[in-house]
Structure 1
Amino acid sequence: MTGDHQVMIGNAMLGKGFPVLIQTMYDSALPKEGEALDELLRRIGKLNAMGCDIIRFSYPSKDDQDSFSYICKRSPIPVVADIHFDYQLALDAIACGCQKIRINPGNIGARWKVDEVVKSAKDHNVAIRIGLNSGSLPKGNDPVPTLMCNTALTYLSWFEQAHFYNTVVSLKASDTEVTLEANRLFAKLSDYPLHLGVTEAGSVVSAITRSTWALGQLLSEGIGNTLRISITGDIETEVQAGVELLRTLGLRKKGIRVVSCPRCGRHSFDSQGFLESIESDLLMMDKDLTVAIMGCQVNGPGEAKAADLAITGIGNSIFLYEKGTLIKKVTQQDAKAALLEAIEHA
């Protein structure tokens, strides 16, 4: 999207003309046991099926070396190490096989330490994200968006002096207007790819609202190459929100679009409970379909006409439609299996 500069993260390419990618960040300490690590890999696989393209891990200690190496070698998507303060941890994470590291050069220490990290990243073909948050900037009298932008440009000049260009930049704030202004300013001055996010955005409702407001505007303006919807909650929800944002903007086509009604006093089919029971299955299905899940026969038939597949019900009688035509009547107990089968064959 932003500019012509291209960055490679494992097998993923960022830059103008390439898809906007979705990231999340693992929400716990890395497990130590093999069985738990394999379970984590299965979770990453599920996240990938839902639409996640890149996953980031905190790397706070060399005690995580074995576990992190195990994940880096086996993850189905590129792995990012999040590093703070200790440049030796960055060097260690690169040696573990990650495809990208995230650092704030300003808290790594002396310039020579930053240069060591850049040299290692270059030698190992690892990308670097310069990650700047509004709360971790050098002192200055400029407005925060300007200070963020100028600081990023300074760090980029350091990297370029070392002939390193495989760099992504993120300029994040909990204030949506600061986020908007900083990224717009940077996009005018540089063609390096941007990772978008509103940091510390809160719980599900506030995080998705703030992030959609800011990131939706930037993406609509052609600014941004990767994103994370940062939520105090499940990382699966972060991925789901990111996918839905990109689909709403027309930037991602694959995946099932769900249309469902808010429950009201007319409902005799528990559409809310049904959606909760089937949503994780729908999120992992690589089909470009619209599926309507309606609670009663008032709006159900109308929505069914506009959807590829639709389901609604009266009591224990559940009606399945395909492109507006009733194709099957089943019980509530069989409704989930019937819908999934219809999607599979659509």
Structure 2
Amino acid sequence: MGIELHEYQSTLKSHASLSGIGVHSGKPVSIHFHPADADTGIVFHCGDADGSHREIRALVSEVGGTELRTVLGDPAGLHVATVEHVMASLFGLGVDNVVVEIDGVEAPILDGSAALLVEAFDQAGIVRQAVKRRYIRILKPVRIENGASWAEFRPHDGTRFEIDIDFESAAIGRQYLGLDLNADRFRRDVSRARTFGFMKDVERLWAAGFALGASLENSVVIGEDGRIINMEGLRYPDEFVRHKMLDAMGDLALAGARFIGCFRSYRGGHRLNAAALRRLLSDRSAFEIVETTRRERGRSAEIVAVSAPVFAPWAI
């Protein structure tokens, strides 16, 4: 197996906290990340205005909404929304176990990317734990289609994303990005890509209760004339597809374990990502659970994957 696979689970070395507003709610929110024991996974502790509290595990089985964002829990009750950038940051940096406390119902959008989350986690530090990490290894192709859109998992030696987007807007057009994931590539090539939207959609979104906290400080906005409104322009020439990759990483982090394989999508989004993940996990012939181990080869060593004990955290 590729050297980017790690043998052991990890958590944060110390606490990290961030504050901001929800991009859809427009309300202020603080989020706190705490180190957690091995095999904890990512767990959100959220509360409501009436004092109710609930623990919500970051699993696809808890996904209650995928319109413009990913929602864990019951959108009409206790839930935490817009978790995709948080999950992508933990996934991209290789953090397995964290308890997340949030004092609202939506994660803060910050600057619209994962950059500030990455900075906070790097400052907190990441430590290895004494328990093996388990992976979902893809054994055969699994595909789902919705009109012209599609997503699929395929076997691959490592963890790879291939994202293809196609917008009528001249500012975006068709963009493709393929990336074999590791923490350095995530920091450099994906984490700084911001969410984006069209000025022509603003009034419709506001009327539907979305994008109430969106601004040029946290979103790339495309004007009526097809030009980027933000004075600073784009952070990457293809920032749009990089942000779609960021979202896909966050959505697939809800598998309950990392995967060894390639995820590909064309004109995808949160709903398609969740549907593809559910399709994969519902077919036990399509994957196996493995652990990694270090095998000596002369003076060098390689990480190889071996069958793991029965493990089913996703409970779809």
Same fold (TM over 0.5): no
Structure with greater strand percent: 2
Task: Specify the structure having the higher radius of gyration (Cα).
Answer: 1
TM-score by length of 1: 0.22
As a proportion of its length, which structure holds more helix?
1
